[in-house]
Amino acid sequence: MNRTAPWVARLATSDPGLLRLRLALRGAGAVGLIALVAHFVGPWVGIPSVAAMLIGGSVGLQGSFAASGRPPRDVVRVLVWFPLVAAAGAVPAALLSSDHPVQVILFAVLLVLAVFVRRFGLRAQMYGMLGWFAYFFTSFTGFTLDTLPGLLALVVVATGCVILVGAVLFPDRPAAVYTAARRAFTDRVTVLISTAADVVGGSVTTGDGERRLHAAGLRLVEVSLIVEGYLSQPGSLPEGTAESVAVIRRRLLDAELAADELAEAVTQLRHDGMPEQVRTALADALRVVGQGDVDRGREQLRQLDDRLADDHDLDEVRSDVEPAVTAARRLLAATADPLTPAPTGDVTFEGAVALMGGNLPSSANSAKDIAAAQTPRLSLNTRMTIQAAIAAPITVLLGELISPSRYYWALLACLLVLTGTFTTGEVTAKGINRVVGTVAGLGAATLAVHITGTSGWAIVGVMLVCVFLGLYFFRVSYAVMAFAVTTLLGEIYNVLNEFTRALLLTRIIETVVGAAVAVLVVLVILPIRTADARHAAHRAFLIELGALLGDIAVRLREPGRQRSLALDARRLDAQLHQYATVSRPAAGATMLGLARPGALTSISAFTQVAYRARALAASVIRLEPGSRPDLADRCDLLRQEVAVTADPPPPWTPGPDDAMDRRLNALRDAVRALPGGNR
């Protein structure tokens, strides 16, 4: 393991691949550059500087999102169509500039269309949002057909700036993101080892230590899957060695298993107790291992081994300590050179997970399963479009009643709450976060406006900080995103000399109305309840577990039959992550915050079973195919039990039972007892 500065390690562990950091830098850079250019270009094309900066900044934000997780060439291919998409939204708004009622109705129609086009993929989703925002800003600024050419010229210039920032200055180059994700894996291993040292050393309580170890293990699964996703993407692996992607997968799997075994061993030691001298020596050795010094770590572990062997008074605890020492030694071996890349990747390599914009899948997969079961003729996107079609006119009507000139705030809140959420729990959590972030942001905006006054540079500085914070925390906390955007809007209205208390009150009411309508519609119209989505994820996990057990049985029974057990284990990890995501609708889109009390209650059974199954697969990989048909029969019996459990009658249980965990553990121990099966 390589040494990493503490602040860099914390940044890497919280942001695998540094995608959130790149998005924030790209967004702030694009908005800043566009603001500078638009300040001069706007008046030249007949648009006031403030309006030009506002419109260009919107293009910068949308373009930054569109560039996320894409290689530079793909960024250009996506963004080059931005002017045409913006024109599709701006032209109708300009045509209807004198007909307010029709303009409002079309506003609602375009919201529904923006939700509908999501069915065509991530690129279509970005185009839909851009078209909607182009219509919004054209209406908001009062552009007509006479000023439309200048607006489109400004969009072209802004698009060029975004391409420069997204494809040249702050690109998500696959090789760089892959390398950062590998570094995050190593840093998360370090966090787990340090936590294990704290548990052994007694610096944390037993309950808190177990929660922290469990959370660290699940976060390790998360970053492993991100690395897995990049292994199957062209251009992710920089040239350097002859190591294949299959070997990289195996090395990561070995490290993950060693981390699981270390966590299990130190937890057991904490429960059983041990002499003070042994506890201190083991904790010190683990801290050295966690620091990433391979040579010192190996020496410390060797000294601990010698001490246990030489002191006969410690004979009774030697067998208890050995699993932790062995796991730590394997962690050193598995992560000694974590950044070793492959030259071009295996042509036949099959990834276990497909990344979306460089991130792991959301709860959409489970929601799709429920939608297919409940309404076979209505896809998930169709259901969401119907919800939007009902929510949009209600929101427009209520928004107009509150403020005919600010109704779009309610519509904006409604759209943003509806997009990117798939279950009732997610929509409710996002709606609440939207309101909370807006209220807090208005307070911050009042303070920021008071401090900056009319100072142009100070206002721009606050705006760029808001853009950075909003984009960086977008996937972690939507409340922070709403807070940053609201503070940003406060400064915009400060520049427009429209920042008043009445405006703040209207903003809060419109936001509450838009978010409330979105939540109520989703709760009543074709809802996908969180419990149902969790059930679908539960079933998918057990199906993947059954597939893994079936392939293990084939390998144990039939000579010459090869099964990619490492791939099966990774697919099981992907389903584990999906279940964890669905089970925590209010926790954001990452595995942060897992160490809080109660956060892992519904996930613990799944993580234990996944660990046992993963360890069983790793042990069987080391055996000759066809060498143990008797164990294959045991695998088949367990697979059949899993198949029955995958379709339980209501009420369904929240996870696999303890008996399944014990049987997997016994089967793993039986395999490890065989020649070649002991790791």
pLDDT digits (tens, 9 = 90+) for 528-580: 999 899 889 988 998 999 999 999 999 888 887 666 888 899 999 999 999 98
d(Cα 649, Cα 574) in Å, to the nearest integer? 25
3 state DSSP class of 170 = coil
d(Cα 34, Cα 51) in Å, to the nearest integer? 12
Q: List the domain boundaries for the chain.
A: 1-172, 188-218+251-334, 377-528, 530-672
Q: Cite the DSSP H helix spans in 311-423.
A: 315-334, 364-374, 380-402, 407-418
- Is the pLDDT at 345 greater than 50? The verdict is no
- Is the pLDDT at 604 greater than 60? The verdict is yes
pLDDT at 675: 53
Contact 335, 1 (CB under 8 A): yes
**The two structure tokens encoding residue 402:** 């509150």
- Listed range (318-327, 451-460, 589-598) with the worst mean pLDDT: 589-598
Instruction: Tell me what the mean pLDDT of segment 353-381 comes to.
Output: 88
Query: Is the peptide bond between 559 and the residue preceding it cis, with omega within 30 degrees of 0?
Result: no
pLDDT at 385: 95
- pLDDT per position as a tens digit, 262-306: 888 888 877 666 777 778 888 888 888 877 777 788 888 888 888
Task: Provide the residue type at 139 as one letter.
Answer: S
188 — pLDDT class (breaks 50, 70, 90): confident
341 — pLDDT class (breaks 50, 70, 90): very low
pLDDT at 347: 41
Residue 109's closest CA among 379, 393, 399, 520? 393
Counting Cα atoms < 13 Å in the Cβ hemisphere of 544 gives 28
Give rounded-to-5 percent helix, strand, coil for the chain: 75, 0, 25
Range ranked top by mean pLDDT from 112-121, 199-208, 637-646: 112-121
First to last CA, the chain: 21
The answer for 73, left when phi > 0, alpha when psi is -120 to 50, beta otherwise, is alpha
- Is the pLDDT at 343 greater than 50? The verdict is no
Residue with tokens 């920089």: 238
- Measured over the CA atoms of residue 223, residue 229, residue 235 and residue 237, the dihedral's sign is positive
**The two structure tokens encoding residue 344:** 């071009």
- Is the pLDDT at 191 greater than 70? The verdict is yes
pTM: 0.87
pLDDT at 114: 92
- Measured over the CA atoms of residue 118, residue 120, residue 126 and residue 128, the dihedral's sign is negative
d(Cα 317, Cα 485) in Å, to the nearest integer? 57
- Tell me what the pLDDT averaged over the chain comes to: 84
Contact 49, 38 (CB under 8 A): yes
pLDDT at 645: 72
Cα distances (Å, whole numbers) of residue 587 to 230, 329, 421, 536, 542: 25, 34, 13, 19, 24
Residues 6+ apart with CB under 8 A from 29: 165, 169, 170
Contact 293, 245 (CB under 8 A): no
Answer CATH for 530-672 from 1.20.120, 3.40.50, 3.40.190, 1.10.3470 = 1.20.120
- Is the pLDDT at 153 greater than 50? The verdict is yes
Using CB atoms within 10 A of its CB, is residue 520 exposed (0-12), middle (13-18) or buried (19+)?
middle
d(Cα 478, Cα 474) in Å, to the nearest integer? 6
For the residues of 585-641, what is the DSSP string, one character each?
TTS-SSSTTTTSTTTTTTTHHHHHHHHHHHHHHHHHHTSPTTS-HHHHHHHHHHHHH
Provide the percentage of residues in the chain whose pLDDT is more than 90.
32
Counting Cα atoms < 13 Å in the Cβ hemisphere of 30 gives 40
Residues 6+ apart with CB under 8 A from 237: 175, 178, 230, 231, 245, 341, 342, 343, 344, 345
- pLDDT per position as a tens digit, 24-35: 999 999 999 999
- Is the pLDDT at 339 greater than 50? The verdict is no
Supply the angle between the helices 100-116 and 82-95 in degrees, to the nearest 10: 150
Contact 218, 603 (CB under 8 A): yes
**The two structure tokens encoding residue 565:** 């057990």
Contact 175, 161 (CB under 8 A): no
Integer-rounded Cα radius of gyration of the chain: 28
Task: Provide the residue type at 666 as one letter.
Answer: A
Contact 15, 68 (CB under 8 A): no
Backbone angles phi, psi at 359, to 5 degrees: -115, 160
Contact 551, 561 (CB under 8 A): no
pLDDT at 414: 94
pLDDT at 432: 94
- pLDDT per position as a tens digit, 158-174: 999 999 999 999 988 88
- pLDDT per position as a tens digit, 46-92: 888 888 888 899 899 999 999 988 889 999 999 999 999 999 999 99
The DSSP 8-state label assigned to residue 383 in this structure reads H
d(Cα 483, Cα 434) in Å, to the nearest integer? 8
Using CB atoms within 10 A of its CB, is residue 662 exposed (0-12), middle (13-18) or buried (19+)?
exposed
d(Cα 229, Cα 441) in Å, to the nearest integer? 36
Residue with tokens 């309950």: 207
pLDDT at 600: 61
- Is the pLDDT at 596 greater than 60? The verdict is no
pLDDT at 499: 86
Contact 579, 606 (CB under 8 A): yes
Counting Cα atoms < 13 Å in the Cβ hemisphere of 646 gives 16
CB atoms within 10 A of CB 372: 14
pLDDT at 342: 41
Residue with tokens 């109705």: 105
Residue 351's closest CA among 537, 524, 178? 178
Cα distances (Å, whole numbers) of residue 427 to 440, 475, 516, 619: 20, 14, 10, 42
**The two structure tokens encoding residue 90:** 């701006």
DSSP strands (E only) in 482-572: none
Residue 416's closest CA among 679, 114, 33, 678? 114
